[in-house]
Amino acid sequence: MVQGMHLTQIGGGTVLLEPGEGLDPGEPDAYLAPLATYLQRAGARRLIYDLSSVPVIDPLYYDWLKKVYAVSAVCGVRMVVASMSPPTAYALASTLNETPPFDCALNVDRAR
C-alpha cells in the first residue's frame, strides 16, 4: 500500500484509514489516487479516518482531510472522521469559517 496510510477492510463495506508518521498532507497527489483505487476495489461504502494518532490538526491537515473527503465522495464513499481529541476539535473549531464536509464520531466503533 502507500507509505503513511494503513488501510483495512473492517466489514460491511467499511474501510479504516489509520494515518502513520510517514503521511505528508502537503503531498496529496502521492496518496489520493491510490486511496481512490483501494476504495473502489474494496467496494467501500464508508471510510473511517482514525485521528487517534494525530495530535494537531492545522490548516494544512484540515485541507488534507477535505481532499480525502472529496476523493471519497467521488467514489461514492461516505467519510467519517473518528477519534479526534476534544482539545484538537476545539482548536480546529476555533479556526474554521465553515462547517466541515465530513461527519465526526467519538471513536471507530461509533463511526461504524
8 Cβ contact partners less than 8 Å away, ≥ 6 residues apart: 15, 16, 18
User: For residue 31, what is the DSSP state?
Assistant: H
- pTM across the whole model: 0.92
Looking from the CA of 100 toward its CB, the CA atoms found within 13 Å total 23
Instruction: Please tell me the class of the 5-111 domain.
Output: alpha beta
Which single residue is written with the C-alpha cell 508518521?
21
- Domain ranges, ordered by start, for the chain: 5-111
Q: What tens digit of pLDDT does each residue of 16-48 get?
A: 999 998 899 999 999 999 999 999 999 999 999
Q: What tens digit of pLDDT does each residue of 59-96 get?
A: 899 999 999 999 999 999 999 999 988 888 888 888 88
